[in-house]
Amino acid sequence: MKQLTGRTCTGTAAFAISALALSACGGSEETTETDAALEEGGTITVWAWEPTLEQVAEAFEAENEGVTVDLVNVGTGDEHYTNLQNAMRAGSGLPDVAQVEYFAIPQYILGESLMDLSEFGADEYAEDTFTDGPWGSVTFGGEGIYGIPMDSGPIALFYNEDVFDEHGVEVPETWEEYEEAARQFREADDDVYITSDQGDAGQVTTMVWQAGGTPFSTEGTDVTVNLTEDEGTAQWAEYWQPFIDDELIMPVAGWTDEWYQALGDGSIASLTIGAWMPANLESAVPDGEGSWRVAPLPQWEAGDSQTAEQGGSSLAIPEGAENAELAYEFMEFAGVGDGVQERLDAGAFPATLEDLQSDDFINREYEYFGGQQINQVLSESAQNVAEGWEYLPFQGYAHSVFNDTVGQAYEGQATLEEGLSDWEDDLEAYGRDQGFDIAE
Amino acid sequence: MSGGLITLRSTRRPKTPPSVLRPAKSRLLTVLIGLMVVYSVVPLIWLVINATKSQQSLLSSFGLWFADDFSLVDNVVETLTYDDGIFLRWLSNTMLYVIAGAGGATILAVLGGYALAKFDFVGKPAVFAVVIGAVAVPGTALAVPTFLMFSEMGLTNTPWAVIIPTLISPFGLYLMWIFCADSIPRDLMEAARIDGANELRLFLQVCLPLLKPGIVTVALFNMVATWNNYFLPLIMLRNENLYPLTLGLTAWNRQASTIGGEAIFHLVITGALLTIIPLIVVFLLLQRYWQSGLSLGSTKE
């Protein structure tokens, strides 16, 4: 279940929206090398679990005769990375294309195990093709391009309108109002909570990100872990502690059957979650049809509009892949070419500016959400992602030990502050063992 | 209670002393066993009950009782047909790994155990040390080195990558060794040799029947271990079509937490139920051998 908790990227958001600049990349400047590979044909192996890639692979094969895309699901999240790591270490059996979540990219870049896509001409997408969040994470520090973004996950407030109405609770616009709403729910009905949380590293990093925190930073091999003094982190911890102390949140872990159950029967009234959530709600919470709506993420200061990213993946080429040129063509097709539409139709949320702003996308009405044009909210959120966020070059490890440290706070055995401090100690020790220079 | 003729200490007649046939009753033990039964049976009951629910009622009904609808048949059909019937593919993969891997491991263990127990040869203490050492090393610790080795040989992502490591069962070998040593009297072997039996015939016709309980025990051990094996296939296999059931069901379960993935908890549960049925059947069929196997080894001289 952890793959969703991995959250995106080194966002440097707030781009000027200029859909027009997009036309610049068409046509003449295509690198010939990869085109030739396309004509020659061949087989590429793609390791990914993303379900919409099936349609993309079919479309790509249909368009290019002689090309076969061998789409293999080697596991989801951790399992996928274990397999990838093993193949990289063994130096054989590597896929030509691998799905890599934004949070996992830094570790592969530092391990020099992903190809720099600049050599295939990926520079052409450097400006105004993708939103800054996802693009920031595939470029990580700006030296090289290590992946083609597939989707993005700007967060918003998903809420069950029926439950809010039933208890006369206003949809919160600030975090202060959100806490108030949480208390109103608890007073109104013993079974209803504003949300659930049992300690989720991805959720926490996203919230800290929105608060403007930058607890992690990397420069070369210098890594800073600053969970105790970072202002954004402290702000979040202080805010969230009463939610645990006063039992304002349902103690249920995300992505379990209990969680889906609570989403369906109205005992979880809202979620602050990534823009990819609609597809999951539609398929797993059919009972919620017509009840759910999407609102902008609550803000720390009334009138602000700062958001963050949650989840999302890119496609990358492992160093040593056999068929890199063809692989690049496929990634281009899936990330910026005709494949994007295939994925959107299947419910994915784009990372490309053009699609985020297309009328078709913005004005699409969702029956599940009572006919609401939810993409207006979500697209807006994509453009307001807070700047400066970075993931650790060992973020996967960080997530895996989250429950042993910060997670204790959710059991009432420590405060969030203490938990964060433990997390920091653990990460610093691990980073040192891995040979990073850890700043004190 | 009549008077105490037998004992001077007590006025009450003492209870018959506990014996093997009439063990003493212990309330504490009964309670503990009762708890163990609950602990092991409740999940099974849960599994059976929930396999009868549709995805929707699974999420909206009490876990330990039936929902209004009864969808067991639908669920089974859907499990067997979902994603072009890949469940059946996984089932046959698992069977292949069990038959070839666990079956082969059992044969090797019997041959090896017999040789070690009944023949003297140079280096036997070394073999002993290696086997005992191998029992102590958990399979998980060897998985990654094994992966790298198989990768060199180009065998990863093939059924061989699961079957070959499964063939090696130090624990099974050790068990067979002990069992052979205890259950085949040397006199019997001598007698057979004097009667003119060659070594092959001696093994096949005289010794093997005596080893039956031990073989069944080792075979069951290996079968269960292979049937449930998760980590080895996880790192060796990347092709969904080669997955055993354990990996396949995990993949299904993970779908629910994938962006855009379809939640199919009801199929995971039904699939899990279907997965344990063959094991239960095998246990029931081989139970008597298994029981006599456990006791046989322990009562020989």
Least CA distance to B254: which residue of chain A? A1
Question: Looking at the predicted structure, is the pLDDT value of residue A308 above 90?
Answer: yes
Sheet containing A222-225: give its strands across: A216-219, A222-225, A437-438
- Put simply, the chain A residues between 83 and 102 with a CB less than 8 A from any chain B CB are 83, 86-87, 89-93
Residues 6+ apart with CB under 8 A from B56: A286, A287
Distance of residue B241 Cα from the nearest chain A Cα, in angstroms: 10
A4 vs B160, residue with greater confidence:
B160
Rounded average pLDDT over B176-186: 90
d(Cα A115, Cα A119) in Å, to the nearest integer?
Answer: 9
Distance of residue B228 Cα from the nearest chain A Cα, in angstroms: 17
Question: B151–A51: do the CB atoms touch at under 8 Å?
Answer: no
Question: B254–A74: do the CB atoms touch at under 8 Å?
Answer: no
| Backbone φ and ψ of B12, nearest 5° | -90, 150
Question: B260–A286: do the CB atoms touch at under 8 Å?
Answer: no
Q: What is the pLDDT of residues A199-225, one digit of tens each?
A: 999 999 999 999 999 999 988 889 999
Question: Looking at the predicted structure, is the pLDDT value of residue A437 above 80?
Answer: yes
A93 band by pLDDT with thresholds 50, 70 and 90: confident
Question: Looking at the predicted structure, is the pLDDT value of residue B89 above 90?
Answer: yes
A320 CB near a chain B CB, below 8 Å?
no
What pLDDT sits at residue B9?
A: 53
Which residues on chain A are in Cβ contact (under 8 Å) with B235? 82-83, 86
What pLDDT sits at residue B68?
A: 82
What pLDDT sits at residue A210?
A: 96
Question: Looking at the predicted structure, is the pLDDT value of residue A22 above 60?
Answer: no
Question: A348–B234: do the CB atoms touch at under 8 Å?
Answer: no
Comparing B4-13, B230-239, B274-283, the range with the smallest average pLDDT is B4-13
Question: Looking at the predicted structure, is the pLDDT value of residue B16 above 80?
Answer: no
Mutate to test the interface with A, among B56, B82, B89, B238 (most CBs of A within 10 A): B238
Comparing A93-97, B86-90, B136-140, the range with the smallest average pLDDT is B136-140
Question: Looking at the predicted structure, is the pLDDT value of residue B289 above 50?
Answer: yes
Residue A237's nearest CA partner among A419, A82, A89, A68 is A419
The mean pLDDT of chain A is 88
Question: A82–B235: do the CB atoms touch at under 8 Å?
Answer: yes
What b-and-e string marks burial along B141-153, b requiring 16 or more CB atoms within 10 Å of the CB?
Answer: eebeebbeebbee
What pLDDT sits at residue B15?
A: 60
- Put simply, the chain A residues between 222 and 261 with a CB less than 8 A from any chain B CB are 254-255, 257, 260-261
Rounded average pLDDT over B14-31: 77
What pLDDT sits at residue B144?
A: 82
Distances (CA, A) of A349 to A167, A356, A434, B6: 32, 8, 35, 88
Q: What is the pLDDT of residues B182-230, one digit of tens each?
A: 888 888 889 999 998 899 999 998 899 889 889 998 999 999 999 999 9
Least CA distance to B144: which residue of chain A? A86
Please report where in the chains the tokens 């895309």 appear, as a residue.
Answer: A69
How many beta carbons lie within 10 A of that of residue A109, not counting itself?
Answer: 23
Comparing A136-145, A273-282, A323-332, the range with the smallest average pLDDT is A136-145
Q: What is the dihedral of CA A239, A240, A243, A245, to 10 degrees?
A: -90
Chains A and B form CB pairs within 8 A to the count of 110
Mutate to test the interface with A, among B259, B262, B266, B268 (most CBs of A within 10 A): B259
Residues 6+ apart with CB under 8 A from A221: A110, A435, A436, A437
User: ipTM surpassing 0.85, yes or no?
Assistant: no
Question: A51–B60: do the CB atoms touch at under 8 Å?
Answer: no
Distance of residue A19 Cα from the nearest chain B Cα, in angstroms: 27
Which residues on chain B are in Cβ contact (under 8 Å) with A4? 257-259
- Put simply, the chain A residues between 298 and 317 with a CB less than 8 A from any chain B CB are 311-313
What pLDDT sits at residue A30?
A: 46
Residue A285 structure tokens:
């919470």
Rounded average pLDDT over B125-141: 87
